[in-house]
Structure 1
Amino acid sequence: MTSLDILGIGNAIVDVLARAGDDFLARHGMAKGSMTLIGPDDAERIYAAMGPGVESSGGSAGNTCAVAAALGAKVGYLGKVADDTLGQVFRHDITAAGVHFPTPPLTGGAPTARCLILVTPDGQRTMNTFLGACVTFGEADLDEASIAAAQVTYLEGYLFDPPAAQAAFRAAARIAHANGRKVAITLSDPFCVERHRDAFRSFVRDEADILFANEAEICALYQTDNFEAAATIAQSEVGLAALTRSEKGSLLLTGTTAHEVSAEPTTVVDTTGAGDAYAAGFLAALTAGRPLPECGRWASVAAAEAISHFGARPQADLKALVKG
């Protein structure tokens, strides 16, 4: 296995994005800005009610991997799709983005996952996720050679929902650390944190080297409404924390230092994938040996590009953008 800069592990999902008004969310009982897990019947109902959509391979860590590859990083990805049409679409898309994807497909089981994303006029995205084949991801799907070859193994918090995946995360962390590598995790969503707070806290404290979270997620993790208080706890529990605050920029924390990073100015069209792109920019710069403030700048540039258009995958030349 050739060396990798980043290996992402997450829910392999095909995204379906469509515009919708707040009235659509209300009619369907959706909490604006959240991610809700749904079953196959709800997936069919919501899909039928959505307006014209854009379909693409996605999933949080998958988006991060694609953006990091666009920035020139050597990237791999582990995630479970089914041996069906959407699974083939996902595999083709992520491979075409320059990402190594060795996970074999699931045969004879649930279909490939899909996420129905409603984008309101203010750019906020509300996600309804049918996990499908994702829930079968477990330790047997870990590619030890890829983990050992990656500078950073990046874990998607959404994958904490299936218990088998939590065990896989811990096994991946053991493999990474045994090979002198780093482990990063993103909290993904405050509702996900609420569902698995104890498991997240344990993992962040005992297994993670790098933590990504937004303001709502870090406050949910530490059960406080005070961002500064939550940031202080994070600084004491993990070696490096990158905490995002939307238009307020982000805060990078190590045990002894704090760096404030400004947000890049842009017009918000769709916030889908903003955090994914931020993590991609940060890790691409970090694995290239850049100093922390520069990692934060790359992250902000990537996030600004992501929210300037519809969809989570980059549409501009990110290498040129980070050069300024």
Structure 2
Amino acid sequence: GDLAGRVGQDPFAELALSRVREVGVDLRYLQEDPEHTTSSVLILVVPGGERAMVSAEGASRYLDPALFKPRFLDQADAVVLSAYALVGGPSRSYAAEVLEAARRREMPVFADLGTGAVRAAGRELLRHLRGVDWLLMNQAELLALTGASSLSGGIARLREEGFRHLAIKVGAMGSILVTPEGEELLEPYPVEDIVDSTGAGDAYTAAFAHALLSGRSPLEAGRLANLAGALAATGLGAQGRLLRLEDLEVKAR
């Protein structure tokens, strides 16, 4: 896969990218910022894997839209977008151009919300994300985004907004898939020794998108994504345990 983003010219950039390079991610569309430092997040983890986070915005907000070309998508099968890119600044324009280029090509788009993105941009995110193939979020993000007091209420409001396919991560309950055919609660994959839930949601999104693109049904993809999220929480940090689809399929048998 290809990674589009922006980092500073500092040690944090190398720390963030070294493991990504190791596993063969193509960084040709990565931008280097001569002025801003690499964005960072301080994460405080308590026993059981729950977290509190303090973020320092940096280079990622300044992703330069002038450097994006629609041909960047020529070799792509899909776009997986973090809603943080839509919060504001130049990165919002970059993300909007990517979304428009993907729509023109009828390319699948998976958009993953984030708690900070929902707090910062709220319902403005929906304007940019309308028409994406899958909208992914956790329970807190769903309720904050829609103003609903229940999962069912939040799902109903997003359906009214025209979002037909939703994947909602509900922690220890697993995840809920919403399609035009109905809603399905997918049980979690039980794991012991949860260390850190950082990156579990991202692992879910990556596994879900990859499984769907590999021909799995949404329910199969959701179950593999539950497994990926659970296993990611057994490692420390967002890159503590990197997973491959074939490994997940072996464990899921």
Letter in 1 for 2:135: L
Letter in 1 for 2:10: D
Q: Hey, what does 1:224 align to over in structure 2?
A: 148
Residue among 220, 234, 247 paired with 1:320: 247
Judging changes above 3 Å, is the alpha-carbon distance between structure 1 residues 146 and 96 closer, same or farther for their aligned structure 2 residues? farther
Residue among 294, 297, 304 paired with 2:220: 294
Q: Hey, what does 2:39 align to over in structure 1?
A: 113
In 2: Cα distance, 1:273 partner to 1:296 partner: 17
Residue among 274, 277, 300 paired with 2:200: 274
Letter in 2 for 1:106: E
Are 1:198 and 2:123 matched, yes or no? yes
The answer to whether the 8 Å contact 1:277/1:302 transfers is yes
| Shift >6 Å, 4+ stretches | none
**C-alpha deviation, 1:251, in angstroms:** 0.9
Q: Hey, what does 1:123 align to over in structure 2?
A: 49
Residue among 158, 178, 187 paired with 1:253: 178
In 2: Cα distance, 1:256 partner to 1:218 partner: 20
Larger RCO (alpha carbons 8 Å, 6+ apart): 1
Judging changes above 3 Å, is the alpha-carbon distance between structure 1 residues 141 and 95 closer, same or farther for their aligned structure 2 residues? farther
Q: Hey, what does 1:263 align to over in structure 2?
A: 188
Judging changes above 3 Å, is the alpha-carbon distance between structure 1 residues 316 and 203 closer, same or farther for their aligned structure 2 residues? closer
The answer to whether the 8 Å contact 1:87/1:105 transfers is no
| Secondary structure, counterpart of 2:2 in structure 1 | strand
What 5-or-longer segments of structure 1 have no aligned partner? 1-74
- State the Cα RMSD in Å: 2.0
Deviations along 1:3-40, one digit per CA (max 9) or x if unpaired, are xxxxxxxxxxxxxxxxxxxxxxxxxxxxxxxxxxxxxx
| Secondary structure, counterpart of 1:180 in structure 2 | coil
Letter in 2 for 1:321: L
TM-score normalized by the length of structure 1? 0.71
**C-alpha deviation, 1:197, in angstroms:** 1.4
TM-score normalized by the length of structure 2? 0.90
Judging changes above 3 Å, is the alpha-carbon distance between structure 1 residues 177 and 224 closer, same or farther for their aligned structure 2 residues? same
In 2: Cα distance, 1:207 partner to 1:197 partner: 17
The answer to whether the 8 Å contact 1:219/1:226 transfers is yes
Aligned residue pairs, count = 248
The answer to whether the 8 Å contact 1:102/1:143 transfers is no
Are 1:208 and 2:132 matched, yes or no? yes
The answer to whether the 8 Å contact 2:112/2:135 transfers is yes
